[in-house]
Amino acid sequence: MTLPHPNADQISLPIVLAVLGDPTRLAIVRYLASKEGVPLNCSRFLDLGSKTNLSYHLAKLREAGVTRAEVVGTSRLITLRRDDLDARFPGLLDSVIAAAGEDKALPAIGGHDVEMPA
C-alpha cells in the first residue's frame, strides 16, 4: 500500500502555511526536524492526542507535502520533506522551525521539549 503525496511542484505555499498554523502539526514538524532524516513511527506522536486525531494531523501534513509517510507492514514511517520544501520555498522551513523551537506554547512530544539542532 502506498499513500498519495503531492509532487514537489504541486506543493502550494498557502496550503503549507495553513497546515503549519496548527500547533499540533507544528509540534510534529519541529520534532521531525530535530530527528532530521530519521523515519519515525507515527506512534511516536501519541502524546499529542488520540490515534484518530493524530491520524488526521499526519494526513494533513502529508497531503500538503510537508511530510512523507511510508507504509511498512502495519506501521507508517514519517519523514520531513525538507529537500522538496527547501527547493520550492527556500528558507521557509528553517524560519518556521526556528520560530517553533522558541515557542513554549507548543505541545511537547515524549513529555519533554525538543532539542533543536544548532
Tens-level pLDDT at each residue, the chain (118 residues) = 788 899 899 999 999 999 999 999 999 999 999 888 899 998 888 888 888 999 999 999 999 999 999 988 888 999 999 999 999 999 999 999 998 887 877 887 765 444 444 4
Count of structural domains within the chain = 1
> What is the reported pLDDT for 28?
93
What amino acid is encoded at 54 in this protein? L
Alpha helices in the chain (DSSP H): 13-20, 23-34, 51-64, 82-88, 92-101
Residue 72, domain member (yes or no): yes
Residue 52, domain member (yes or no): yes
Residue range(s) defining the domain that contains residue 80: 13-96
* pTM of the shown model: 0.86
> What is the reported pLDDT for 111?
53
> Which uninterrupted H or E stretch holds 15?
helix 13-20
Residue 24, domain member (yes or no): yes
> What is the reported pLDDT for 110?
66
